[in-house]
Structure 1
Amino acid sequence: MIYCDYAATSPMSEMALNVYQEVAREYFGNASSLHDVGGKAKDILESSRSMIAELLDTEARQIVFTSGGTESNLLAVDTLIRASRLHGKKHVITSEVEHSSLYYFMKELARQSDIEVTFLSVDQNGQIRLSDLEKSIQHNTCLVSVQHVNGETGVIQPIKEMGELLQERDIPFHSDIVQSFGKIDVKYLIPFVDCMTISSHKVFGPKGVGAIYFSKKLSLTSHPVSTNHEHSLRPGTVNVPGIAAFAAAASETITDLNTNQQHLQSIQDLFIHKLKADEVPLRPIVTANQCPSIVGCVSDFVQGDYVMLEYNRHGIAISPGSACSIGTTEVPKSILPFITNLEEGKRFIRFSFSHHTTERDIYQIVEASGVIYNRIKEERQGYDEKVNG
């Protein structure tokens, strides 16, 4: 099967699998235990922390490990809000196009607590306007949280410019970089954000592992559940084998980041060009600031969930949207700037690539797309002729 759903997850690399197996077998101790077995696990944990910190060009003590991207988002935001509430600040700014884990958490936060949440809309290119962000800031704004790369459209938000604006006002800034980490450079963001969240299984590591970067200038409060794990910020036994495999996979991926990014860009360009050249009735969402690993498309005449099954029959794995939002009937807000009506939104599908995607894969995908849409079109024409005949 040709796999084009890397924005949902990626397979574990051979190196990550080998590291996981070795650490699980040889260093199985609880990293918080004081005996030698626990001490060896602790050494592996801290070595992995240093590896992730180096990839972000920061210090090991600023990295907190979690169970994945969703927990990272929730723990990061909750930690920052709890710290700010001590100073009476209760206003949060985020966007309407955040990952579902954060978007719905913010919705519930606004509904059930005394926290006020402002949801920023995006412009015709899917980006947040800096002027809108500036206008939304209040005297009691305690946090801004904006995703770096959108998982449906690949749109890149102007995080650097936002960070500069927020630094002038001393407002903590969190960014979910799950979709950009390992695909494009994120180290340049460090001076402009106070907190970032990442996930292991998006970069060929195991599922169930993630991390948070916290700036050392932040004053953080301990988790309300009394714990001695991860700088007292997170309860639960640390997953040392998973973390070690995560660090190995991330290091392997980011070591070749420049080469991989160039490859992804050429793959994205080829895919968009071939769709147009072969007159496939798929309109790719293309913007000036877009991660090369993701191409969202809108079909001319068939719903996304149905056409996804057709691609599956041709041995091609794609998605009708974010894997974390599958099962909902709501059209993703991130694609609204690129469609004229909600009916078009139901015809959305997403192709997401990695450095393993080849030019041959792209040619096969586009060829299969022509077959799929021509067959569906012929079937519809035959049905219409039968009904109207």
Structure 2
Amino acid sequence: MRTYYFDHAATTPMHPDVVRTMLELMQGPGGNSSSMHAYGRAAKQQLNRSRDRISAALCCKPAELLFTSGGTESDNAALIGAARAQRKRGKSHIITSAGEHHAVLHTCEWLKKEEGFALTVLPVDSSGLTSPEHVRESMTPETGLVSIMHGNNEVGTIQPIGEIGEIVKAGGALFHVDAVQTLGHLDLNLRELPVDLMSFSAHKINGPQGVGALYVASGTLLEAIQYGGSQERKRRAGTENVAGIAGFAEAVDICVNDRQKKQLFMDELRKRWIELLMTNVDVPIIVNGNEQNRLPHIVNISFTGVDTEAMLMNLDMEGIAAASGSACTSGALERSHVLRAMHLPEEQIQSAVRFSFGLGNTVKELEDAAYIVGTVVRRIRNNY
């Protein structure tokens, strides 16, 4: 059976050049980058080269880049580390939005419950946008940290982080941005963006799983949340994953060099997919998210009258990998908190499926898969 992978927002296949880069290092003599001997110095040089490559692509200083195990750790390190540092300055109020990834939302809720921080969770509109004015209105002299994602992982809506960042800066707070979904799809110039902390993950850009990074602007106070050695300028203890970080750097180089071409092609795939579904599916479809400010590779679609869980199970049986865009808990589908935050009709929420495209997908593949989706929808409706 032929298979179709349309879940690149969850994770992406590794690029062949990334695999080769990592394999060369993994088959080498090894070495701990904290060791003083020749093997350790070689590992340290490789680590430094990788940091230089990634920082150059992001237009930041190498010393401003902290390596982590992925987006979740980067979000946790930024939020907990910055919130604790800001509290020492008399600022114990955090602002975020209802449309954030759980790595941000759950961490902010934990800071409120366990450490006593005040928390404001801003609403999003029906397209998933956070209003800069809502941020402005929520700022107080006690606000120490604001966290708003760049591009939403479920509906693809892009937030106005430039405008929001200026408001946060004027209010004397730190601004954290989860950019896990936007690296490789949008231009990121950290010299120009009013951002203090930004989270990244390698496996969203055809790099390895288990590797990420956190941008920490020079002068930003950040307390370490992991203790042990003095790695990463004493901000994140633990032996660095040199091979994984080298793979991350290779992936960043590829995605930055191919970004404009890739963006155009992803946008073409997205538009064509919507057209194909409108032709092949016998029920009305609704595209969720913001039509103007959106990522090119993500499309969230509600199939009117067709249950999400039934849809995903049947698509999987036909070889099509898609997602609800939300968590799976104890084997039961948890409906999207993002769509609920957008206050969409319940029927729209209960029938939403996220498709996301990337390396390996083609227009011909989408044409074949759209016919299968139409067949699946008819099968589900006939069984009801």
The 5 A counterparts of 1:236-255 are 236-255=238-257
Query: Which residue in 1 is equivalent to 2:368?
Result: 364
Residue correspondence of structure 1 range 262-301 to structure 2 within 5 A: 262-281=264-283, 282-287=285-290, 288-301=292-305
What residue is the counterpart of 1:334 in the other structure? 338
Q: CA deviation at 1:77?
A: 1.2
Flag as ranges the 4+ runs of structure 1 deviating above 6 A. none
- Where in structure 1 are there 5+ consecutive unaligned residues? 381-389
CA distance in 2, matches of 1:112, 1:247: 36
Q: Specify the alignment match of 2:59 in structure 1.
A: 57
Please state how far the C-alpha of 1:12 moved relative to its aligned partner.
1.1
**Is contact 2:228-2:238 (8 Å) kept?**
no
2:126–2:344 Cα contact (<8 Å) kept? no
Cα offset, 1:112, TM superposition: 1.4
Q: How far apart, in 2, do the equivalents of 1:223 and 1:309 lie?
A: 39
In the aligned structure 2, how far is the partner of 1:37 from the partner of 1:191?
A: 38
Alignment of 1:31-42 (within 5 A): 31-42=33-44
Deviation at 1:371, TM superposition (A): 0.8
AA matched with 2:288: I
Residue 80 of structure 1 is aligned with which of 65, 79, 82? Answer: 82
In structure 2, the partner of 1:130 is 132
SS in 2 for 1:201: helix
Q: Which residue pairs with 2:198 in the alignment?
A: 196
Task: Say whether the 8 Å CA contact 2:79–2:108 is kept in structure 1.
Answer: no
- 2:203 is paired with a residue whose SS is coil
Q: What aligned pairs does 1:70-219 form with structure 2 within 5 A after superposition? A: 70-187=72-189, 190-219=192-221
Aligned-partner Cα distance in 1 for 2:301–2:15: 28
Instruction: State the Cα deviation string for residues 302-339 of structure 1 (Å, max 9, x = none).
Output: 22122112111222111122357785654323213666
Residues 84-142 of structure 1 show CA distances to partners (whole Å, capped at 9, x for unaligned) of 12212100001111111111111121111121111001112211111111111111110
Contact 2:310 2:380 in 1 (8 A): no
CA contact (8 A) 2:156 2:289 kept: no
Counterpart Cα distance in 2 of 1:62 and 1:123: 34
Of 248-257 and 284-293, the range deviating more from structure 2 = 284-293
Aligned residues with identical type, % of pairs: 32
**Amino acid across the alignment from 1:283:** I
Query: Which amino acid in 2 is paired with 1:198?
Result: F
Deviation at 1:80, TM superposition (A): 1.1
Equivalent in the alignment of 1:317: 321
Deviates more, 1:173-182 or 1:369-378: 369-378
My pick for the range that moved more, 62-71 or 333-342, is 333-342
**Aligned mates of 1:269, 1:275 — CA distance in 2:** 10
Instruction: State the shift of 1:286 in Å.
Output: 4.6
Partner amino acid, structure 2, of 1:321: G
Aligned partner letter, 1:13: H
Structure 2 contact 231–239 (Cα < 8 Å) conserved = yes
Verify the 8 A CA contact 1:8 1:323 in the aligned structure 2: no
- Distance in 1 between the 2:253 and 2:181 partners? 16
1:321-369 Cα deviation digits (max 9, x unpaired): 2357785654323213666433432222110011432111221221111
Instruction: Using the TM superposition, name which of 75-84 and 257-266 deviates more.
Output: 75-84
What is the number of equivalent residue pairs in this alignment?
380
* Inter-CA distance 223–108: structure 2 relative to 1 (3 Å threshold): closer
Q: Which of 2, 5, 12 does residue 4 from structure 2 map onto? A: 2
Q: Distance in 1 between matches of 2:25 and 2:319?
A: 35
How far the C-alpha of 1:227 sits from its partner, in A, is 2.9
Alpha-carbon separation, structure 1, partners of 2:54 and 2:328: 25
CA–CA distance in structure 1, aligned partners of residues 50 and 327 of structure 2: 28
- CA separation in 2, counterparts of 1:166 and 1:99? 20
248-257 or 220-229: which moved more? 220-229
| One-letter identity of the residue aligned with 2:296 | P
User: Could you tell me how far 1:223 is from its partner in structure 2?
Assistant: 4.6
Distance in 1 of aligned mates of 2:374 and 2:29 = 52
TM-score when normalising by structure 1: 0.93
**Corresponding residue for 1:259?**
261
Q: Which amino acid aligns with 1:263?
A: F
For the residues of structure 2 that align with 1:178 and 1:10, how far apart are their CA atoms? 12
What is the alpha-carbon distance in structure 2 between the residues aligned to residue 145 and residue 189 of structure 1?
19
Return the TM-score normalized by structure 2: 0.94
CA 1:324–1:216 in structure 2 vs 1: closer, same or farther (change >3 Å)? farther
1:297 aligned counterpart, secondary structure: strand
Question: RMSD of aligned C-alpha atoms?
Answer: 1.9
Distance verdict in 2 for CA 1:70–1:224, change over 3 Å: closer
